[in-house]
Amino acid sequence: MLGVAGARTSENGSAAVVAEGASKLFLEGTVVAFQGLTLSVPEHDVLCIVGPSGCGKTTFLRCVAGLTELSTGRMLVHGQPVFGPPEGVAMVFQHFGLLPWKTVYDNTAFGLAMAGAPRATIQERVEHYLDLVGLVGFEHHYPYQLSGGMQQRVGLARALALSPRVLLMDEPFAALDAQTREVLQEELLRLMARPDERKTMLFITHSIDEALLLGDRVAVLTARPGQLRELIEVPFGRPRDAASVRADPRYAVLREHIWDLLRPEVVMAI
């Protein structure tokens, strides 16, 4: 049976992102990416979305970002319908999305510059977030001079420099080797533990482990057309660290449960 998420809200009663009966069709309705998704993401919550390839995860995120229009249903960000890129939303992409002809500094500053921020503000924010992600000393390097992990740090710094209230993460660590991925997961947990960096986050991943490590809830989607199979509460408090989460007996139980939900969907999608 498919689960439907109720309108769970934060302590102040607000939901940062709400999807109501959201569907997206392509090729004149012959291809349905996702269908009838209804869920809410409370302010400052992290929702991790897992599902088989092709179930519309990235397309859903693009609809939240206002980069793709829904076919049916509604998308709200901080109570406002999404008809284009909403204010206060930033996205981090899987393949870094850096401009190869710009330096680390200029890539980080790009969104702020496009928004017309004053030069002093740009400098202050860029320096602050490059320091936060550990890239001080690399300001004048170009993307080709950086490792994959460092490039993704630039992408994260660029998004954070915009001071978004909602951060959309489209498999940001998927292209990295396993060791670098674990390091960046830990770095993200460290950032999320800072009161001044609390964000509402939608995080797409194919990794159940990553979803349980980072998320407050995990939305499990079916094979295409993506529908909500189950919404799972993650019981680990914050701040959290990777070692403690993985050592918790509930971790293995939840991981097995999510894989039991996903396995038949993955087989169907092959």
CB atoms < 10 A from the CB of 74, how many? 13
* pLDDT over 70 (residue 4): no
Q: What is the pLDDT of residues 223-236, one digit of tens each?
A: 999 999 999 999 99
Q: How confident is the model at residue 175 (pLDDT cuts 50, 70, 90)?
A: confident
Eight-class DSSP state of 216: S
Alpha-carbon distance of 47 to 178, in angstroms, equals 22
Q: How confident is the model at residue 29 (pLDDT cuts 50, 70, 90)?
A: confident
Q: How confident is the model at residue 239 (pLDDT cuts 50, 70, 90)?
A: very high
| Residue-wise burial string across 82-105, b where 16 or more C-beta atoms lie within 10 A, e elsewhere | beeebebbbbbbbebbbeeeebbb
Whether domain 1-88+167-270 has CATH 3.40.50.300: yes
Q: What pLDDT is attached to residue 2?
A: 40
Q: What pLDDT is attached to residue 9?
A: 47
Q: What pLDDT is attached to residue 219?
A: 98
Q: What is the pLDDT of residues 105-120, one digit of tens each?
A: 999 999 999 999 999 9
* pLDDT over 80 (residue 7): no
Judge contact between 55 and 265, C-beta under 8 A: yes
Q: What is the pLDDT of residues 36-92, one digit of tens each?
A: 999 999 999 999 999 999 999 999 999 999 999 999 999 999 999 999 999 999 999
Q: What is the pLDDT of residues 180-219, one digit of tens each?
A: 999 999 999 999 999 888 899 999 999 999 999 999 999 9
* Domain spans, the chain: 1-88+167-270, 98-163
First and final CA of the chain: distance in angstroms? Answer: 21
Phi, psi at 234, each rounded to 5°: -95, 120
Pairing label, strands 15-26, 72-77: antiparallel
Q: What pLDDT is attached to residue 30?
A: 81
Peptide bond before 52: cis, by omega within 30 degrees of 0? no
Q: How confident is the model at residue 27 (pLDDT cuts 50, 70, 90)?
A: confident
Judge contact between 223 and 266, C-beta under 8 A: yes
Pairing label, strands 31-42, 46-50: unpaired
Q: What is the pLDDT of residues 161-171, one digit of tens each?
A: 999 999 999 99
Q: What pLDDT is attached to residue 212?
A: 98
Q: What pLDDT is attached to residue 5?
A: 44
Q: What pLDDT is attached to residue 3?
A: 38
Q: How confident is the model at residue 121 (pLDDT cuts 50, 70, 90)?
A: very high
Judge contact between 22 and 34, C-beta under 8 A: yes
Q: Mapping DSSP to helix (H, G, I), strand (E, B) and coil, where does residue 18 land?
A: strand
> Whole-model pTM?
0.92
Which amino acid appears at position 269 of this protein?
Answer: A
